[in-house]
Structure 1
Amino acid sequence: MPYWIGQDDKVKELVDEFNASQDEVTVNFTQLEWKDGRDKIKQAVAAGRGPDVWLMNNGLELDFLKAGSLASLDELGYTKNDTGKFLDLAKVNEYEGKLYGAPLYFDVSVLVYRTDILKKYGYDKPPATWDELKSVASAITEKSEADGDKVSGWQFKGMDDHVNAINSTWESFLCQAGGSLTSSDYATSTQNSPAGKAAMEYMKSFYTDKTSPVGTSALNGFIDGKVAMFSFFQSVIANVEAGGAKTKDKWAVAPMPKGPESGCSMVGGHSLVASSQSKDLKAAGTFMKWLASPERSAEYMDFKAIFPYDTAKVDSAVQATYDEKLQSDPNWEAIIEQLSRNSPDLVLQDRHGWATRWEAQKASVVAGVGGQVPVGEALKSIDEQVDRALSAEK
């Protein structure tokens, strides 16, 4: 899939560059679409005709891991020196003590805010806590409406035209409230908890008092100056920048406002994996090491992808490129701060019952936050559906 945001042809260019760089391995490239690419790969692998190497979400899919469909990185020629350069977050790709995915980059959820709107209403810095977020967003909504040009102070990404985004949004706020997706043994869904209720009631309050607009796109509203703040993966910066004159020099990024327990957020991004049935694991590993190398990952920072390596363990030339890119954009400071707040735990929980959970959350979180069903009922529905999926995994 075209993971280079905003440039669908870029991945093919990288593959062509790899093929031209040496004469031992030739990659035959197929580009799929995001809307159905992952399903096509899953069907092809199940039929025994899948690709040698493909893209997968960080955290990997449990079905592939349990079926033995993926080759471990050590089978692909990775050494401890190679894997020791990854950030600790790379543990999201571990299964039964082995790594099965080479991270291309990480994503973390951050706060994106309109500096021009906050300044207009008397705020010289973004909110740092849930309480501040609510008070600032409410004040902007009320004051702008009184001025005759209403701006919604906040919108939750996923309560709009991109419903799938509610999953990363919800899991970030659940984490900040101190909640978890599953029990420590991954056997039981644990969202219907005091932390779950606190997170969902907090999110719901933005709609109850009409601070957030029902059905308005967080991203499009932000670009048009009708939404002052929203949160999503930092890679959304590329979309904000595409707003051109509408957004130029009018916005910035901050770490997520801290909840009752922490300022953690959902972790995303993508990794490369290889088929355990590949006829040439060495060739697959050679290509993966190149495309997911520190050199290429430093390039991915151009679309605000988070470098997945410990910078103290990479070559000085790569480190210099990394430092140069960090200095070129002040938003990187907030992104790196948010990165430091996260652990692999939430992603490892999310792996279990993932497909069922993400469908259940899309329906129940939107309904609970939007007030169509009581919060407790929404959380209970998620747990009931995910529990059935977790039971089937045993």
Structure 2
Amino acid sequence: MRKPRRALATPLAASLVALAACSTSPPAAGRELTVWIMGDGSARFQQLVSTFTARTRVRVDAVAVPWNSIDQKFTTAVASGKGPDVLQIGLSKLRAFAASGALLRLDRRTLDGHPNLAAARFLDGLAGDGTAAGVPWVSDTRVLFYRRDILAAQGITRPPATWEELRATARTLAARGGGAFGYHIPQWDNTLPVIMTWTRGGEIVDGNGKIDFDTPEFHRAVDTYLGLYADGSVPTDADFDQVQGFVTGATPMLVSGPYLADAIESAAPQLKGRWWAAPVPGGHAHTSLLAGSALGVWRAGGRKEDALRLLDYLSEPSTQVAWYRLSGQLPAVKAALDDAALAADPLVAVYSRQLRDARPLPPVPDWDGDTGKALLDALNSIVLTGADREGALRALYAATGGTAARP
């Protein structure tokens, strides 16, 4: 497990422990919630909910689920009819998971009596219309992380502001030799080509609400994406570790989310002051991705009211701020982002600036397993196996064209 982004001894985090200690009553017998937490944050989540247990006498058992295992684990749970009481769901998967019928519909009537779960309290673009199968838990966006020291050693005094500048900077950095590159493209990231399209003023949804990649702006995004590989500026190893690449300086630039800052600070605290973040490069705009995770409630579970109480607690601004302190994941609640202590964090200022120009992926039925997969399959086939560009893109258009993106 990664270490917390900030030491638990902060006043805010310490208050969680103090409040939990105020109660001497043990959790009530039989009142326990099982919560699936994505990634390696279950121990930190367990610490976060100690206050909830002290208040309600409801025990919480946090179970870590790897991101790449959630689809199979969820499918198995649906087939057996036995799932967790609460589960974390990436927003790009929420529509597909909701279609299974296994999640409780969180409409206004269901949420009555839980004021913290009102849609208006969450960041625009994260909350649905009050009938969604999940409530926002954390927000996420993509920014450009860069090694200040390595760029400065090459005479580069500021991060690239356009994709053309980024490509030129990456070539300069790759020319250092000795196994050095200039940039890293995670081969699993199906959002980067979309961001590159948006920042050029393009769309991937046409006027009829259907997916359409065959646009001039997308073609220019592909030019940049493929060009970074053609320049030798990015590694082609599918197992390349983006954190280690950044820490060692092999790949001094990449577009990623705030979780990368947590990983860098944990892996290499000695780099403090030698790296930073900036808005994504652009041209027409600097629009980035608005993403994050939601929390869903198992419809057939017998502890739905306790589950909703937990969601309400997790949506309190103070809890959201505490989770950022523990995990480096951004709040989804607007009031938490406005918290004075959080707003004073210079990295949060970068993220907040980017969130003001960010948008969610199109609401297709299954972005990760369908549209986004087809996008990555096409681009990776070109750069990794030498597939014909035009043929690969035609296959992409055929596979995704006409897919409905419904709100």
**What TM-score comes out, normalization by structure 1 length?**
0.81
Is residue 22 of structure 1 aligned with residue 36 of structure 2? no
1:15 shift after superposition: 3.9
**Per-residue CA shift, 1:106-156, capped at 9, x if unaligned?**
1111100010011111122111111221222223333x34xxx56422222
Kept in 1: contact 2:140–2:292 (CA 8 A): yes
Q: Distance in 2 between matches of 1:102 and 1:55?
A: 10
**Per-residue CA shift, 1:38-97, capped at 9, x if unaligned?**
421233134432223211112553233345443214213345983321111223xx26x6
Match of 1:72 in 2: 106
The verdict on how the C-alpha distance between 1:299 and 1:79 changes in structure 2, with shifts beyond 3 A counting, is: closer
Matches for 1:1-394 after TM superposition, within 5 Å: 1-3=36-38, 7-23=41-57, 25-27=58-60, 29-70=62-103, 71-74=105-108, 75-77=110-112, 78-79=114-115, 82-91=118-127, 94=128, 98-142=131-175, 144-145=176-177, 151-156=180-185, 158=186, 163-164=187-188, 166-183=189-206, 186=209, 188-215=210-237, 216-244=240-268, 247-259=271-283, 261-302=284-325, 303-311=327-335, 322-327=339-344, 329-344=345-360, 347-370=361-384, 372-387=386-401, 390=403
- State percent identity of aligned pairs: 21
Kept in 2: contact 1:200–1:369 (CA 8 A): no
Kept in 2: contact 1:200–1:368 (CA 8 A): no
Q: Distance in 2 between matches of 1:85 and 1:279?
A: 27
Whichever residue aligns with residue 212 of structure 1, its letter is V
**Per-residue CA shift, 1:203-255, capped at 9, x if unaligned?**
11112122333325443221101222111112111111133256332111111
Whichever residue aligns with residue 86 of structure 1, its letter is F
**Root-mean-square deviation over aligned CA pairs:** 2.9
Kept in 1: contact 2:378–2:396 (CA 8 A): yes
**Per-residue CA shift, 1:157-205, capped at 9, x if unaligned?**
x1xxxx32x213233223223344444555x431233222211111111
Q: Which moved more, 1:353-362 or 1:104-113?
A: 353-362
For these two proteins, the number of residue pairs brought into alignment is: 364
1:11 shift after superposition: 1.9
The verdict on how the C-alpha distance between 1:40 and 1:267 changes in structure 2, with shifts beyond 3 A counting, is: same
Q: Distance in 2 between matches of 1:12 and 1:213?
A: 37
Q: Distance in 1 between matches of 2:287 and 2:40?
A: 27
Query: Structure 1, unaligned stretches of length 5 or more?
Result: none
Whichever residue aligns with residue 178 of structure 1, its letter is G
Helix, strand or coil at the partner of 1:203: helix
Whichever residue aligns with residue 339 of structure 1, its letter is L
Q: Distance in 1 between matches of 2:358 and 2:164?
A: 21
Kept in 2: contact 1:196–1:379 (CA 8 A): no
Kept in 1: contact 2:48–2:322 (CA 8 A): no
